[in-house]
């Protein structure tokens, strides 16, 4: 699917396929130190990518490429269910998640494309793709750092709500999106 950013740049959104692995690695290693510190579902290595996206159907990958090129400019993950560490924190807040009704989301956009609307376009693309999956709640993979004001604004604008907060290398928030009426 082709989308335009607010400043008129053109991107193609698609589901990840193994053939894109090397390009994805290039994208990840070229993220700024700050963006790397914000996005943590897996190590930025071939093994890291393969472990999460390799064989299992449990995690879906989505990428954006600069239109007409192989250059990846955004990458997001949707996991069916949730990690134990995330689920345990939700239980601590008194919110008991069920694996079948929950998915876990982790977005990233290349530094030069952040703030361009690309993250929002990808989010809509993903919601459309998982629309039939029966998820009732989307949570964030490892929460979001309280210092990550861009991501916080991004999630709030998309309807995410704060479930609770926790300490891990600084303060973090767990946020969730009720999906029933989307
Ligand atoms: C968080 C992230 C995925 C958002 O994607 P994006 O393409 O930058 O976001 P968008 O341009 O679609 O912006 C969506 C909203 O975010 C907010 N936003 C964008 N830029 C912002 C900035 N510089 N400061 C504060 N809020 C900002 C705005 O609310 C914006 O909506 P608006 O443009 O309609 O006002 C992206 O910035 C990113 O990858 N950051 C680094 C990695 C990361 O933090 N991942 C999330 C880990 S929990």
pLDDT band at 181 (very low <50, low <70, confident <90, very high): low
Kindly give the number of the ligand 1 atom that is closest to the alpha carbon of 144: 48
Confidence at residue 56, expressed as pLDDT on a 0 to 100 scale:
73
pLDDT over 70 percentage in the chain: 98
pLDDT band at 180 (very low <50, low <70, confident <90, very high): confident
Give the Å distance between the CA of 102 and the centre of ligand 1: 23
Kindly give the number of the ligand 1 atom that is closest to the alpha carbon of 149: 25
**Comparing C-alpha atoms, which of 42, 49, 55 is closest to residue 25?**
49
Distance CA 80, CA 63 (A): 18
For residue range 135-159, list pLDDT tens digits in order: 999 999 999 999 999 999 999 999 9
- Average pLDDT in the chain: 95
Mean pLDDT throughout 44-73?
93
Mean pLDDT throughout 96-118?
95
Q: Which domains, ranges and CATH numbers included, belong to the chain?
A: 2-178 (3.40.630.30)
Q: Does the C-beta of 60 come closer than 6 Å to ligand 1? A: no
């Amino acid at each position: 699917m082709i989308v335009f950013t607010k400043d008129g740049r053109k991107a193609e959104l698609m589901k990840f396929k193994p053939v894109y692995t090397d390009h994805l690695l290039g994208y990840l290693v070229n993220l700024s130190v700050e963006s790397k510190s914000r996005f943590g579902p897996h190590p930025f290595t071939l093994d890291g990518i393969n472990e999460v996206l390799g064989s299992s159907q449990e995690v879906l990958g989505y990428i954006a490429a600069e239109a007409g090129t192989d250059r990846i400019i955004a990458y997001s993950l949707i996991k069916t269910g949730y990690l134990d560490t995330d689920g345990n924190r939700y239980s601590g807040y008194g919110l008991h998640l069920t694996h079948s009704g929950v998915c876990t989301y982790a977005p990233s956009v290349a530094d030069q494309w952040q703030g361009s609307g690309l993250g929002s376009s990808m989010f809509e693309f993903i919601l459309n793709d998982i629309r039939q999956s029966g998820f009732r709640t989307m949570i964030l993979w490892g929460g979001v750092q309280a210092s990550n004001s861009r991501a916080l604004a991004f999630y709030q604008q998309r309807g995410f709500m704060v479930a609770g907060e926790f300490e891990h290398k600084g303060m973090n928030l767990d946020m969730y999106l009720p999906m029933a009426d989307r």
